Amino acid sequence: MPRTIAEQSSDLRMGTFRLARRLRAEKSDDDLSDGQFSVLAALFTHGPHTLSSLAERERVSAPSMNRTVGFLEELGYLTRVTDSEDKRRVTITLTPSGTDTVKATVKKRDAWLTHALKALSPEDRATIADAAAIMQRMAER
């Protein structure tokens, strides 16, 4: 009997959740939480941010983001730069160490996925490639 759309939705949610959890385990600095790495990745992908814009992007409160930024700053992964024209404005920027951490984590995650994909049949890899494109479109809605 064919599975209902609700059952398919549940299967997709669980499969996506489990794969995402497995990928999150692949990181270059095991001391970083997922939220902390997400901040580094956001700065890497989208460039420098103010504290409030970074908090908004990550959907957390400004005080919570301030704690995260402070922790990452202590580790040397990012820095706060005061605006030369408006001394009240501070921009958060990745350091070379923060950039290296993001790149190393992405490389590690891609390597894990490559290894996992190699274990699949060509037909399964084609199905996953098609599914990835469809999931990208779903996420953009």
- Whichever domain contains 49, its CATH number is 1.10.10.10
Answer whether residue 113 is part of any domain.
yes
Walk along the chain (141 residues) and give the pLDDT tens digit of each residue. Answer: 788 999 999 999 999 999 999 999 998 888 899 999 999 999 999 999 999 999 999 999 999 999 999 999 999 999 999 878 887 889 999 999 999 999 999 999 999 999 999 999 999 999 999 999 999 999 898
The count of C-alpha atoms lying within 13 angstroms of the C-alpha of 92, restricted to the half-sphere facing its C-beta, is 27
- The sign of the torsion formed by the CA atoms of 95, 97, 98, 104 equals positive
The radius of gyration computed from the CA coordinates of the chain, to the nearest angstrom, equals 19
pTM (predicted TM-score):
0.83
Q: How many domains does the chain have?
A: 1
Answer whether residue 13 is part of any domain.
no
pLDDT of residue 119: 96
pLDDT of residue 87: 79
Answer whether residue 77 is part of any domain.
yes
Answer whether residue 24 is part of any domain.
no
Answer whether residue 14 is part of any domain.
no
As a whole number of angstroms, the distance between CA 60 and CA 23 comes to 22
Residue 131's domain comprises: 29-139
pLDDT of residue 81: 92
First to last CA, the chain: 30
